[in-house]
Structure 1
Amino acid sequence: MSSAETRMTGGRVPETRMPTGGAVPPAGAMPPPGAVPPPGSVPHGGATPHGAVPADEDTSLGQLIGDLTEDLSRLMRQELELAKAEIRQEAGKAGKAAGMLGAAGFAGYMTAVLLSLALAFGLATFMGLGWATLVVAVLWGIAGFALFSAGRSRLRKVNPKPERTIETLKEDVEWARHPTK
C-alpha cells in the first residue's frame, strides 16, 4: 500500500467484498454476453483465456491468422490421435482373429492326428487299414476347412481404415475451404 493510500484509509486495509447475487463463478469462467470486464482484468496486450477477444481492442489480421493456425494445428494433432486409436482398435480385432485361426489350426491338427489313429484302427476291423486312414483323413480335412473358413470370414470383417477420422478430416477440409457455411 502506498503512503497516499495509507493516509486516505487511515492505515486500514480496505475490505474486499464478494459479488452479491448468488454463487461466485469459477476462475476462468466466461462473463455473460454484453458484460464489461472490470478495469485491469484483461492483461495488457489483449490476451484472454481460451482465445477470447476483448470487445474494446482491435485484433490484428496477423493475430487472427496466428490463432487460426494454432487451432488448426491442435485439430490436426487431435485427428492424428483419433486415427491412432482407431488403428489400434482394428489391429486388436485382427490379432484376435489371427489367434483364433492359429488355435483352430493347432486344434485341428491334434484332433486329426489322435482321432484319425483311433478311428482308423476302429474302421480297420471292417476294411483295410490304408482305406480306413484315408476315410479318416478326409473327414478331418473337412473339419479343418470349416474352421479355416470361419476364421477367414472374421478376418475379412476387420476394417484397416480409420473411417471416423477420415470423415472428420473431410469435414475439416471442407470447413477450412468455406468457414462461413
Structure 2
Amino acid sequence: MSGRAFGSIMGEFFDQAKRLIRAELTLAKTELRQELTKFKAGGVMLGLGGALLFIGGIAFMLFACYVLALVMPFWLAAFIVAVGFLGIGAGIAYLGVRRMKELHAPNKTIQTLKEDGQWATRTFQSMKSQMQGHA
C-alpha cells in the first residue's frame, strides 16, 4: 500500500464499503421476510378469530339465550351468554397478540452492521496513519 496514491486507496475503501452495504441490505431483507411471515400468521389468526367470534357468536348467542331462558329470566340468560363470549374472544385475541410478540429485530444484521462500522473505523484510521507516515 505504500506506493499507491491516496485516491486509489480511497477508491478501494469506498468500493469495499459499497459491497459491504449491499451485503448488509440483502441480509436485512432476508431477516425481515422471515419476520413478516410470522407477523402474517399472527394477523391471520387474530382476524380469523375475530370473524368467527362475530359471525358464529351472534347465531349461537341467540340459541343459548333462548335455551337458558327456559330455566331463568331472559335478561340473566343474555348476560351469562355475553360474558362467555367475551371470555372466548379475549382468549383468541390474546393468542394472536402473543404470536405477534414473537417477532424479533433483525439481530444478525444489527450485529454485522456494528462490526462493519468498527471495521470501517479501523480501516480508515489505518489508512489515515499510513498517509500521514508518507507525507
Q: Which residue of 2 aligns with 1:145?
A: 90
* Equivalent residue for 1:169, pick from 102, 113, 127: 113
* Equivalent residue for 1:87, pick from 7, 11, 32: 32
- List structure 1 runs of 4+ shifted beyond 3 angstroms: none
Instruction: Render the CA deviation track for 1:133-175: whole Å, top value 9, x for unaligned.
Output: 211111111110111111111111212x321111001001112
Greater mean deviation of Cα atoms: 100-109 or 62-71: 62-71
Q: Which residue of 1 aligns with 2:99?
A: 154
For the structure 1 residues 84 and 67, does the alpha-carbon distance in structure 2 shift closer, same or farther, using more than 3 Å as the test? same
| 1:127 partnered with 2:78 | no
- Structure 1, unmatched stretches of 5+, are 1-57
Q: Which amino acid aligns with 1:139?
A: G
SS in 2 for 1:60: coil
- Structure 2, unmatched stretches of 5+, are 127-135
Question: Alignment RMSD, CA only?
Answer: 2.1
1:120–1:136 contact (8 Å) kept in structure 2: yes
Greater mean deviation of Cα atoms: 96-105 or 107-116: 107-116
Higher helix proportion: 2
- TM-score w.r.t. the length of structure 2 is 0.80
Larger Rg: 1
- TM-score w.r.t. the length of structure 1 is 0.61
SS in 2 for 1:178: helix
- For 1:1-181, list aligned pairs within 5 A: 60-61=4-5, 62-159=7-104, 161-179=105-123
Identity %: 33
